[in-house]
Amino acid sequence: MQKMAATPPRFDQQFRNQFRQLLEWRRDVRRFDTRPLPDGLVDELLDIANLSPSVGLSQPWRFIMVDDVERRAQVTADFEQCNRAALEQFSGARAARYASLKLAGLREAPVQIATFVDVNPDQGHGLGQTTMPETLHYSSVLAIYSLWLAARTHGVGLGWVSILNPGVVKGICEVPDHWQFIAYLCLGYPLEEHTEPELQLSGWETRRSLGNKVIRR
């Protein structure tokens, strides 16, 4: 039986302005308050993430809620090792600046979610992946962004940690072989809020307008 069609929403200019504000104030957060998030909020955010687009309707995103103190300590140790190795790629003033950056909130964030992609999902029948199998990974990335923006609508910040060894995180989380690591997410209330990217405030890089990023053919 065909379901009754709901009326499609029409979004007005006020909503568009607020949506733009949401993106402007999103931020990749590394400075968290340690106070916990309200009961049920993370489930609500994950539920919204599950509305994301996925190749062939494969819904290949997999979330590990990392609650265990020992596992969190292992992730932090891996981050610190990777971060020291990354520092060695720089020299002089650039190295000093790198060393001064705070690149993760792993010790403070009350909620931590390791995100994977199932590269052999039980949905989708492989549609859309033949020439571009990486679209599975991209689907997990889209789910993370839904979660990120939804969190921000509640004043909650998210930090995406990629300075990690994927194989190490996979071992810490004890996931199946056919899951691949996408990102380690820290969530919590941010200690500060601003529209400028953290890496811009710290002098690492400056955000640029679109410029040569758009070309006509």
CB 134 within 8 Å of CB 60: no
Binding mask 1-40 for a second copy (x = CB under 8 A): --x-xx-xxxx---xx-xxxxxxxxx-x------------
Q: Which of residues 76-135 bind a second copy (CB under 8 A)?
A: 82, 85-86, 89-90, 94, 98, 103, 114, 123-132, 134-135
CB 175 within 8 Å of CB 216: no
Residue closer to a second copy by CB (options 35, 69) is: 69
Comparing CA positions, the residue from 157, 120, 117, 151 lying closest to residue 137 is 117
Shortest distance (Å) from residue 107 CB to a second copy: 18
Is 191 a binding residue for a second copy by CB under 8 A? The answer is no
Residue closer to a second copy by CB (options 2, 35) is: 2
Q: Which of residues 134-163 bind a second copy (CB under 8 A)?
A: 134-135, 137-138, 141-142, 145-146, 148-150, 152-155, 160, 162-163
Gap between the Cα atoms of 215 and 217, Å rounded: 7
**In a 3-state reduction of DSSP, which class is residue 57?**
helix
Comparing CA positions, the residue from 62, 11, 58, 26 lying closest to residue 150 is 26
Shortest distance (Å) from residue 186 CB to a second copy: 14
Gap between the Cα atoms of 78 and 173, Å rounded: 13
Residue closer to a second copy by CB (options 5, 35) is: 5
